[in-house]
């Protein structure tokens, strides 16, 4: 049998009514938890694991996959409408998406996110079916030095997308990097900046920081405004649906997002959040209207949303082919496989082709289900914005704290939520961008660890950092990304850009 026959056979497994039901339950639950800040797909799958014990393996794995895709999708809704990302992979979506929603374009933003997620999910799942073994070989070529080079590239490209003032963007980034130092150093077990508080030994949780800076900070900022009546959010202006212009501006970012998200998701040390950062930076560079970024550019929603779904599919590549879980959700899905006595790994495709292809087929179906479920709901979601503010923000804070309490009911964690919330308020008040803090917290430790691992393997030889072709190429790209704008600016071509930047300051 060839791949196509297997896929057809898989589809017939997945189209079984019971399987469809599992997929439906999965995507519904996934979307629901994705919407809630702080409660991600990983936690949901972990909590449901014991419930599924003793059930049909195929069915429950299909349900977990549905939760995964649904969670990736659901996170964007609150990002766009309420500026409250559900998980770290949808933080970037909030940047442009929420600006669109405030201008009454929440409908198109949600639509481009939904369709982008669908397109990316579809393409990436097909790629998963066709090229998984090849992709995984390429992913294994990436060693610590190559990851370090990738992080450098991410820092350089992402920091160009930080907003108007270089000083403020860098300060935010360094605040994130400083927070990233808190906790046990992975490589030596030394406690850094934990001041003897045991709860700080595990460092600052990304979701806690993101929920605090975005949700709590936003609530404080809106509440503190004296002229609250003036900036009433417009729920819908114009069409709820995407216009022809929205379509023409969205399709390329969808495909670019997929192209970025899938391979990065497949890398053992990649991750959906990095994919979204890179996609946002790429869209800002590729856009003919870079000045619209920061004011609701649809490309900035379409690209990252496609990237995070594509990376969700990418994550399944090492999980299914090597048994390597590369995200928390994948790790728990692995536990799910093991619960049924299945060992994902190089032999799974050979020993359990029906299950694997059934899973891949049901991902396709779950993806379609998500689109069908969510497009009609957009009109309803947008109405969230019409809820009177006292109830809306009271509800947001209840769910924001619920996520933190549910994941780790420690007073230290809640105190962090409060402190970072106030910090988020201060940053908004004085015009410091929020996203770089989270970027620093996520990328900082990865860059540090990969650098030290690479140097440790080479026994301190610095040339190792450029000794692999992948690392050398990535570092060269990073250098170009840093130097080219400087040259352009020196030759006067950046004049318009810097003019715009200083106007906004």
Within positions 336 to 375, which residues make up the interface with another protein, using CB under 8 A? 338-341, 343-347
List binders of another protein among 308-327 (CB under 8 A): 318, 322-326
Options 65-73, 195-203, 248-256, 378-386: segment touching another protein (CB under 8 A): 195-203
Options 189-197, 243-251, 306-314, 364-372: segment touching another protein (CB under 8 A): 189-197
Options 66-74, 214-222, 364-372, 469-477: segment touching another protein (CB under 8 A): 214-222
Which residue from 444, 439, 436 is spatially nearest to 172, judged by alpha carbons? 436
> For residue 234, what are the β-bridge partners?
103
The terminus-to-terminus CA distance of the chain in angstroms comes to 62
Candidate list 64, 68, 73, 142; residue touching another protein; CB under 8 A: 142
Phi-psi region of 253 (alpha: psi -120 to 50; beta: other; left: phi over 0): alpha
- 457 or 480: whose CB is closer to another protein? 457
Candidate list 410, 476, 496, 500; residue touching another protein; CB under 8 A: 410
Calpha distance 367→360 (Å, rounded): 11
Q: CB-based burial of residue 350 (10 Å sphere; 0-12 exposed, 13-18 middle, 19+ buried)? A: exposed
Candidate list 2, 227, 376, 503; residue touching another protein; CB under 8 A: 227
Which residue from 85, 21, 75 is spatially nearest to 44, judged by alpha carbons? 75
Min dist CB 327 to another protein, Å, is 8
Asked if 490 touches another protein (CB under 8 A), the answer is: no
Calpha distance 449→30 (Å, rounded): 32
Residues recorded for the chain:
505
- 48 or 113: whose CB is closer to another protein? 48
Candidate list 372, 422, 467, 500; residue touching another protein; CB under 8 A: 422
Min dist CB 216 to another protein, Å, is 7
Min dist CB 24 to another protein, Å, is 12
Cα maximum dimension of the chain: 69
Min dist CB 452 to another protein, Å, is 5
Burial of 328-337, coded b for 16+ CB within 10 Å and e otherwise, reads ebbbbbbebb
Min dist CB 167 to another protein, Å, is 6
- 285 or 452: whose CB is closer to another protein? 452
CA-to-CA separations, 377 to 167, 234, 363, 446, 491, in angstroms, rounded: 41, 18, 21, 38, 50
Which residue from 17, 11, 23, 27 is spatially nearest to 60, judged by alpha carbons? 23
- 12 or 199: whose CB is closer to another protein? 199
Calpha distance 299→289 (Å, rounded): 10
Asked if 188 touches another protein (CB under 8 A), the answer is: yes
- CA–centroid distance for 125 within its chain: 17
- 346 or 353: whose CB is closer to another protein? 346
3-state secondary structure of 191: strand
Calpha distance 208→394 (Å, rounded): 18
x-or-dash pattern for another protein, window 22-61, by CB under 8 A? x-------------------xxxxxxxxxxxxxxx--xx-
- 122 or 474: whose CB is closer to another protein? 474
Candidate list 68, 262, 277, 393; residue touching another protein; CB under 8 A: 393
List binders of another protein among 95-134 (CB under 8 A): none
Min dist CB 323 to another protein, Å, is 5
- 171 or 371: whose CB is closer to another protein? 171
Q: How many residues form the binding site for another protein (CB under 8 A)?
A: 117
Calpha distance 29→324 (Å, rounded): 25
Min dist CB 212 to another protein, Å, is 10
* Sequence-separated (6 or more) residues with CB below 8 Å from residue 404: 38, 207, 208, 211, 413, 414, 417
Q: Which residue stretches of 83-216 are H helix?
A: 91-102, 106-141, 144-159, 166-181, 206-211
Options 68-76, 301-309, 378-386, 407-415: segment touching another protein (CB under 8 A): 407-415
Asked if 332 touches another protein (CB under 8 A), the answer is: yes
Are 302 and 280 in contact by the 8 Å Cβ rule? The answer is no
Candidate list 408, 466, 473, 497; residue touching another protein; CB under 8 A: 408
Q: Which two tokens stand for residue 282?
A: 């790429």
What does the CA dihedral 171, 177, 178, 183 come to, rounded to 10 degrees?
A: 160
Candidate list 140, 486, 487, 496; residue touching another protein; CB under 8 A: 140
- 306 or 417: whose CB is closer to another protein? 417
x-or-dash pattern for another protein, window 268-297, by CB under 8 A? xx----------------------------
Min dist CB 472 to another protein, Å, is 16
Min dist CB 112 to another protein, Å, is 30
């Amino acid at each position: 049998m060839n791949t196509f026959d297997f896929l057809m056979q898989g589809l017939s497994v997945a189209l079984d009514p019971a399987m469809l039901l599992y997929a439906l339950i999965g995507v519904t639950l996934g979307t629901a938890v994705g919407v809630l800040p702080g409660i991600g797909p990983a936690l949901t799958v972990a909590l449901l694991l014991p419930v599924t014990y003793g059930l049909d393996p195929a069915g429950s794995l299909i349900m977990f996959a549905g939760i995964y895709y649904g969670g990736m999708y659901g996170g964007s809704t609150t990002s766009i409408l309420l500026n409250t990302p559900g998980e770290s992979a949808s933080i970037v979506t909030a940047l442009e998406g929420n600006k669109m929603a405030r201008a009454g374009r929440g409908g198109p933003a949600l639509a481009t996110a939904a369709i982008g997620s669908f397109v990316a999910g579809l393409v990436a799942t097909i790629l998963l079916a066709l090229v998984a073994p090849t992709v995984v070989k390429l992913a294994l070529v990436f060693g610590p030095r190559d990851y370090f080079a990738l992080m450098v590239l991410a820092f350089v490209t992402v920091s160009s997308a930080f907003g108007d003032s270089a000083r403020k963007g860098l300060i935010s980034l360094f605040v994130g990097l400083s927070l990233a130092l808190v906790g046990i150093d992975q490589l030596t077990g030394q406690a850094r900046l934990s001041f003897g508080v045991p709860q700080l030994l595990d460092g600052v949780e990304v979701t806690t920081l993101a929920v605090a800076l975005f949700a709590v900070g936003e609530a404080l900022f809106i509440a503190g405004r004296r002229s609250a009546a003036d900036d009433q959010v417009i729920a819908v202006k114009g069409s709820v649906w995407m216009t022809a212009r929205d379509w023409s501006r969205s399709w390329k970012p969808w495909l670019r997002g997929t192209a970025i998200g899938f391979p990065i998701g497949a890398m053992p040390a990649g991750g959906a959040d990095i994919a979204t950062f890179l996609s946002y930076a790429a869209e800002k560079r590729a856009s003919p209207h870079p000045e619209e970024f920061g004011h609701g550019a649809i490309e900035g929603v379409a690209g990252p949303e496609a990237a995070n779904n594509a990376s969700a599919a990418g994550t399944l590549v090492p999980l299914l082919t090597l048994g390597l879980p590369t995200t928390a959700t994948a790790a728990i899905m692995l536990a799910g496989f093991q619960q049924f006595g299945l060992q994902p790994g190089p032999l799974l495709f050979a020993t359990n082709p029906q299950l694997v292809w059934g899973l891949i087929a049901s991902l396709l179906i779950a993806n379609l289900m998500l689109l069908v479920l969510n497009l009609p709901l957009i009109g309803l979601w947008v109405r969230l914005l019409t809820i009177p503010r006292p109830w809306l923000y009271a509800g947001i804070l209840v769910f924001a704290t619920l996520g933190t309490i549910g994941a780790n009911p420690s007073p230290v964690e809640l105190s962090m939520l409060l402190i970072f919330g106030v910090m988020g308020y201060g940053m908004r008040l004085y015009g410091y961008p929020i996203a770089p803090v989270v970027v620093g917290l996520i990328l900082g430790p990865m860059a540090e660890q990969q650098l030290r691992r690479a140097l440790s393997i080479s026994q301190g030889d610095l040339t190792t950092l450029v000794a692999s072709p992948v690392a050398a190429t990535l570092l060269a790209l990073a250098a170009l990304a840093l130097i080219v704008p400087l040259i352009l600016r020196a030759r006067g071509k950046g004049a318009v850009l810097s003019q715009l930047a200083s106007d906004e300051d």
